[in-house]
Structure 1
Amino acid sequence: MALNTSLPNPLRKSARRYAGQSSEERQRERRKRLMNTAFELFTSDGYQNTTVERICSEAKVTTRHFYQHFRNREALLEALLARLREEVTAVVLNAMEKRSDPMQRAMLTVQAFVDYYLGDPRRARIGSVESVGVSPRLEALRRKSVRQFAQLITIAANDLVAAGQLPDRDYHLPAVALVGATHELIAEWLTGDTGLDAAAISREVSGMFEALIVGARELGTTPR
C-alpha cells in the first residue's frame, strides 16, 4: 500500500527547527551577531587590526558560517556601511517632515545627519575613519553615500529657492562640499584633539551650512 505523503511528518518538522529556531531564524541571528561584533571590534581595535577569526570567536560563530554570509571581511564592513546609510537616511527624512518652514527644514536636515553620527562615536568611526581607503569598491560606496546625503541637502536648498529665500542655482556641488567637510570635521573630532564636545561640532556644521546659504545669496544665480 502506498504511503500518504501529504500527512504531516513530525520527524521532518523537528529537523527544520533547532533550539526553537528555524534554519532561517538561525541564519538571521548569526548574521546579526557577526555584524554587531564587527561593529564593536572595528571601532575599538580598528578594521585593519581585526581578523575574521577574531570576529567569529567573539560572535561565537564558526568561520564556515561566516563565509555563508560574507565573502570576506570587507564585505562585512560594506554591510555595516549600508546599515548606517539606511539608518541615517531614515533619521534625516523624519527630521525633514517635522517642519514646514523651508529654512528650519533645511537646518534640521543637516543637524539630523550630524547628530546621528555624533550621538554614537562608533557610527562616526565606521563612516568617517575605518571605511576610508580600504579598497576602490569601498571608496565607491562611500562616494555613493556622500552623493545620497548631498541630494537631500540639495532638496532642502531647492525648497528655499521655491520660497524665494535662495537664488535659483545648482546646489549639488556645494552640498557635496558640505558633506565632505562634515565627514572630515567628524574624523578630526574623533582624534580627541579638538577639545570640543559633540554639541560644539554640531554647531560648527550648522555654521558651515549657514555660510553656504550666505555665499549662495552673494553669488546669485548661475546656469544649471
Structure 2
Amino acid sequence: MTYSDTDHDVKPTASTAPVKKTVKERQFKGMSLSERKQARRDKLIEAGIEAYGSQGFFSVTVKDICVEAKLTERYFYESFKKSEDLFQTIFLQLIEQLQQTVMQGVMQASPEPRQMIHSGLRALFSMLKDDPRTARIIYVDAMLVQELHNHATIQETMGRFDRMIQAFVMLMMPRIPRSEQEISLVATGLNGYVTQIAVRWVMGGFRQSLDEIVSACETVFLSLLETFAEHAELPG
C-alpha cells in the first residue's frame, strides 16, 4: 500500500477539528467562584457599614471588619487593598441611595416648588435619622477622611448635591436673568448650609426634632425662591 505526498498534509474537517470546550466555574454549595467572591464582598460591605457606622472609621481595623463579617483577612484583601478602599465603596453606595431618596421626595411633590423643597429636605433628613450609621459615615467620617487625606472622590461625590440643587433652580425658573455660574455658586452655598446642619444634627445625637431641622433648611431655600422670583415667574 502506497501513500501520496498529500497524505501527510490532511487538513482537519468539521468532524475532525478539535472542539474548544467551555470551562465552567466549579460549583460549591450551588455557587460559582465569582458568585462566592461577590457574596464575600457584600458581607464585607455590610460589616463595614455596621462597624464604621457605629464606631467610626478611625476606630475600626481590617481585623474588626473581618470579625464582623465572619471572614478571614485574606478574603478582605481579595476584594480591597486597604480599609480606605472599603470605606470609599461604602460611601459611594450610601450617597447614591441618599441622592435617589432625595430625588424621589422632590419628584413626588412636583410641580409645586415649595412642596418639592419641603419633600426633598424631609426625605434627606428622615433617611439620616432612620439609619444613624448612614448619617455618621456620610456626614462625619467622610468629612474627616476628606479633610485628613484630601480625598478627591469624596469631595467630587458630595458635589453631586451642588449640581442637583442647581438643576432644581434652573428647572423651576428657566427664564431667571442670572448666569449659570452664579446659580452654581448659590447651589454650592445651599448644599454647604444643609451639610453643616446635618453634621451638627448627627453629632448632636438627633436631639432636635426632624421638623425643626427641615424648617431651618427650608427657610433658606424659600428665601432664595422669593429673591429669584422677583425677576422670574415661578411655574404653577
**TM-score relative to the length of structure 2:** 0.77
**Cα 1:209–1:72 shift into 2, 3 Å:** same
- Check the 8 A contact 1:106/1:156 in 2, yes or no: no
Which one-letter code corresponds to 1:209 in the other structure? F
1:138-188: CA deviations, max 9, x gaps? 6322321232111111111112212x6x65343211211221222221221
**Cα RMSD (Å) of the superposition?**
2.9
Tell me which moved more, 187-196 or 144-153: 187-196
- Give the Cα separation in 1 of the matches to 2:224 and 2:152: 26
> Alpha-carbon deviation of 1:217?
5.0
- Check the 8 A contact 1:16/1:22 in 2, yes or no: yes
Task: Tell me the percent identity.
Answer: 25
- Give the Cα separation in 1 of the matches to 2:207 and 2:227: 28
The structure 1 residue matched to 2:188, chosen from 176, 180, 186, is: 176
Tell me what 2:11 maps to.
none
3-state SS in 2 of match to 1:42: helix
The structure 2 residue matched to 1:126, chosen from 133, 137, 141, is: 137
1:16-70: CA deviations, max 9, x gaps? 1112211122111111111111111112111111000111112111211111111
> Alpha-carbon deviation of 1:193?
6.6
Unaligned runs of 5+ in 2: 1-15
- Check the 8 A contact 2:117/2:218 in 1, yes or no: no
**Cα 1:92–1:156 shift into 2, 3 Å:** same
- Structure 1 segment 54-65 matched on structure 2, within 5 A: 54-65=64-75
- Give the Cα separation in 2 of the matches to 1:124 and 1:214: 31
**Cα 1:121–1:202 shift into 2, 3 Å:** farther
- Check the 8 A contact 1:106/1:153 in 2, yes or no: no
- Give the Cα separation in 2 of the matches to 1:199 and 1:37: 32
Aligned residues: 212
- Give the Cα separation in 2 of the matches to 1:207 and 1:111: 13
3-state SS in 1 of match to 2:56: coil
Unaligned runs of 5+ in 1: none
The structure 1 residue matched to 2:88, chosen from 78, 85, 88, is: 78
> Alpha-carbon deviation of 1:7?
8.2
- Check the 8 A contact 2:105/2:119 in 1, yes or no: yes
- Give the Cα separation in 1 of the matches to 2:222 and 2:177: 14
- Give the Cα separation in 2 of the matches to 1:25 and 1:109: 37
